[in-house]
């Protein structure tokens, strides 16, 4: 058996560390979720697919995982100080909660398309205002905050006297001193690096709550501090997000947690890297974007054809989460070939039956399987794990082509090859086999045609035709049932 020690590159210490959860067997993981004021873009999808892989691998290793991924529905401001949710609400003439629901639904649908697992808890910032107000009060009580005109600011200078500020991002407070760019509406700050933890709302603001300081709303960083503490405790195992969140969001999260309860929230910080398109950061202002739907249908100048969600996911898997990923048509075409090749090999594998208990290739094949696991345990290295899986593909094909005799592989080893391939492709990478789901779609289409034809025959009281269709389908093990809501069909096993 391979050594299953999991190593994680911890952004907090900038080193690769062996992973040991604080409670053996259990993992608490918090990931910053989307701000639900517009459709998720492919960059967001890459980040959430990466954390899904991490979640799935932790489950595969046998951990009981509590995976918390929030929904940001208040407080994430634009540079001009306007709340993203309010902007969305005004633009679409909807209630802010309608905007949040609309884009949360869209986000979930997209995550389903990419076949990701739902988190264990998905808390919303607006559902945790009380917890956030309590945290602001603790920060004030501990002397790390100050109130000014109904808003409350985090006092970075007071905090930096007692704790290192900038640990995660490597920023130093002197640099921040020089940064005089102030967010609008935060003019009461004593120091440029201070940040709002509670903001007084002006008349035009639509999302506001009563607090001891003003009718207002919480600062963006606060929700993740309050909700991670509530659901995972003051100290938990893993905190994740895209690396654009390192500063200020995650740096300030750490500061808030330390300033309120004195503890560092997470022991391992994991940051995913950005998605680029043709070498440049995906950016709306440069027209350098493609939506997931455009990528699936091929309706974009950036791609020559459509790519299935599983091919796009496979393309993402070919890159380590920690590296930038450049989306190119050529890269997607190569991913499509690789995806089809491995799915075909898996199909071939399922048809192989061992003829002996042990064989001369057993040791070699077992070592190849161990290597897949070792690579994945090395900071979730999906490209290298995939590379090792691909090394097994010619072995499978050799048996299929009769170049190697199946007597060379023992039944126990063959069962392990099947189960590791299955687990990696479907349980850990969360892929689906497009060839199979495609044929199911065709089957659905065909069956609805047959059911319609039979309904027409019945309407015309053409009982012989209707019975013939039913009986011939029964011969194919397809059972149709006439109920009060119409006709349904099932395949009998
Ligand atoms: P947001 O909805 O902007 O709060 O972002 C949700 C998540 O997507 C965060 O973890 C971001 O870091 C991540 N993200 C945003 N843009 C990209 C990108 N181009 N590539 C990868 N991740 C991204
Ligand atoms: Zn967050």
Report the nearest atom of ligand 1 relative to the CA of 281.
Answer: 19
Please give the pLDDT value at position 3: 63
Greatest mean pLDDT among 160-169, 231-240, 293-302 lies in: 231-240
Nearest Cα to 132, choosing from 217, 247, 240? 217
Q: What is the pLDDT of residue 181?
A: 47
Render pLDDT for 460-491 as a digit per residue (tens, 0 to 9). Answer: 999 999 999 999 888 887 888 887 767 877 76
Tell me: cis bond preceding 248? Omega within 30 of 0 counts. yes
Residue 1 clears pLDDT 70, i.e. is over it: no
How confident is the model at residue 86, as a pLDDT? 80
Mean pLDDT of the chain, nearest integer: 90
Which pLDDT belongs to residue 20?
A: 98
pLDDT for position 288: 79
357: which residues sit within 8 A by CB, 6+ positions away?
410, 411, 412
Q: How many CB atoms lie within 10 A of CB 301?
A: 8
Mean pLDDT of the 331-359 span:
94
Per-residue pLDDT for 178 more than 60? no
Burial 178-204 (b: 16+ CB within 10 A, else e): eeeeebebbebbebbbbbbbbbbbeee
- What pLDDT, on a 0 to 100 scale, did the predictor assign at position 14? 96
Q: Considering only CA atoms, which residue is closest to atom 16 of ligand 1?
A: 43
Residue 64 has pLDDT above 80, yes or no: yes
* Atom of ligand 1 lying closest to residue 241 CA: 10
Kindly tell me if the per-residue pLDDT of 222 is higher than 60.
yes
* In the block, residue with structure tokens 């910080």: 269
| Ligand 2 mean position, distance from CA 319 (Å) | 24
242 within ligand 1 shell (Cβ under 6 A): yes
- The number of the ligand 1 atom at minimal distance from the alpha carbon of 34 is 2
| Ligand 1, pocket-test mutation among 244, 251, 270, 319, most atoms within 8 A of CB | 244
Q: Which of 149-158, 180-189, 442-451 has the highest mean pLDDT?
A: 149-158
Query: Looking at residue 490, what is its pLDDT?
Result: 72
Ligand 2 centroid–CA 401 distance in Å is: 52
Q: Are 71 and 105 in contact (CB under 8 A)?
A: no
Q: Which ligand is nearest to the CA of 253?
A: 2
Find the ligand nearest to 248 CA: 2
Least confident of 59-73, 90-104, 382-396, 442-456: 442-456
Beta strands in 122-170, from DSSP E residues, in sequence order: 145-148, 151-154
Q: Which atom of ligand 1 is least distant from the CA of 274? A: 20
Confidence of residue 182 (pLDDT cuts 50, 70, 90): very low
pLDDT tens, position by position, 286-326: 777 888 999 999 999 999 999 999 999 999 999 999 999 99
Query: 441 alpha carbon to ligand 1 midpoint, in Å?
Result: 33
**Which ligand gives the minimal distance to the CA of 37?**
1
Counting other chains too, the contacts that 412-419 makes at CB distance below 8 Å and 24 or more residues apart are 412/357, 412/358, 412/362, 413/354, 413/358, 413/359, 413/361, 413/362, 413/365, 413/366, 414/352, 414/353, 414/354, 415/354, 416/365, 416/366, 416/369, 417/349, 417/365, 417/369, 417/392, 418/349, 418/350
Question: What pLDDT was estimated at residue 416?
Answer: 97
pLDDT at 108: 97
**Residue 330, SS3?**
helix
Could you tell me if 126 and 305 are in contact, meaning their C-beta atoms sit under 8 angstroms apart? Answer: no
pLDDT at 193 over 60: yes
Tally of CB atoms within 10 A around 482: 14
What pLDDT is recorded for position 397? 87
Percent of the chain having pLDDT more than 90? 68
Ligand 1 lined by 34 (C-beta under 6 Å): yes
187 pLDDT higher than 60? yes
Residue 238: which H helix or E strand, with range? strand 236-242
Question: What pLDDT, on the 0 to 100 scale, is given for residue 2?
Answer: 47
Share of the chain above pLDDT 70, in %: 94
Residues 81-99 have pLDDT tens digits of 778 878 878 888 888 889 9
State the ligand closest to the CA atom of 85: 1
Question: Ligand 1 pocket test: which of 11, 36, 43, 323 has the largest number of ligand atoms within 8 Å of its C-beta?
Answer: 43
488 bridge partner residues: 481
């Amino acid at each position: 058996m391979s050594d299953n020690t999991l190593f994680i590159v911890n952004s907090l210490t900038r080193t690769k560390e062996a992973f040991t959860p604080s409670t053996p067997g259990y993992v608490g993981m918090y990931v910053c979720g989307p701000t639900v004021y517009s459709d998720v873009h492919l960059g967001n999808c890459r980040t959430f697919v990466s954390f899904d892989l991490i979640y799935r691998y932790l489950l595969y290793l046998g951990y009981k995982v509590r995976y918390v991924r929030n929904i940001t529905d208040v407080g994430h401001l634009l540079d001009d100080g306007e709340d993203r949710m309010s902007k969305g609400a005004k633009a679409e003439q909807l209630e802010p909660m309608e905007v949040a629901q609309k884009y949360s639904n869209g986000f979930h649908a997209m995550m389903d398309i990419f076949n990701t697992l739902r988190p264990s808890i998905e808390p919303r910032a607006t559902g945790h205002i009380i917890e956030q107000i309590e945290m602001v009060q603790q920060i004030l009580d501990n002397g790390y905050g100050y109130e000014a005109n109904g808003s409350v600011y985090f006092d970075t200078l007071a905090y930096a006297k007692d704790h290192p500020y900038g640990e995660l991002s490597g920023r130093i407070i002197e640099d921040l001193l020089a940064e005089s760019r102030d967010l609008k509406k935060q003019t009461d700050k004593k120091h440029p690096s201070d940040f709002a933890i509670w903001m007084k709302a002006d008349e035009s603001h639509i999302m506001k709550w009563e607090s001891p300081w003003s009718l207002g709303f919480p600062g963006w960083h606060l929700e993740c501090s309050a909700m991670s503490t509530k659901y995972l405790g003051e100290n938990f195992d893993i905190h994740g997000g895209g690396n654009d969140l390192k500063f200020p969001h995650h740096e300030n999260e750490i500061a808030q947690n330390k300033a309120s309860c004195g503890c560092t929230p997470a022991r391992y910080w994991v940051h995913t890297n950005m998605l680029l398109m043709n070498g440049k950061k995906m950016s709306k202002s440069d027209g350098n974007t493609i939506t997931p739907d455009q990528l699936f249908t091929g309706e974009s100048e950036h791609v020559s054809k459509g790519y299935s969600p599983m091919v796009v996911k496979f393309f993402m898997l070919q890159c380590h989460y920690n590296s930038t990923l450049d989306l190119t048509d050529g890269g997607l075409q190569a991913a499509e070939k690789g995806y089809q090749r491995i799915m075909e090999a898996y199909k071939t594998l399922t048809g192989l039956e061992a003829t002996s208990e042990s064989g001369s290739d057993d040791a070699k094949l077992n070592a190849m399987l161990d290597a897949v696991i070792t690579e994945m345990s090395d900071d979730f290295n999906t490209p290298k794990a995939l590379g090792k899986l691909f090394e097994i593909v010619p072995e499978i094909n050799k048996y299929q082509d009769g170049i190697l005799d199946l007597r060379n592989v023992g039944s126990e080893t063959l069962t392990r090859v099947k189960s590791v391939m299955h687990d990696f492709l479907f349980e850990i990478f969360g892929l689906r086999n497009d060839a199979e789901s495609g044929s199911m779609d065709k089957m659905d289409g065909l069956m609805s045609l047959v059911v319609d034809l039979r309904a027409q025959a019945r309407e015309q009281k053409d009982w012989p035709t209707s019975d013939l269709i039913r009986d011939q389908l029964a011969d194919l093990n397809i059972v149709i049932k006439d109920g009060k809501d119409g006709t349904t069909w099932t395949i009998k096993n």
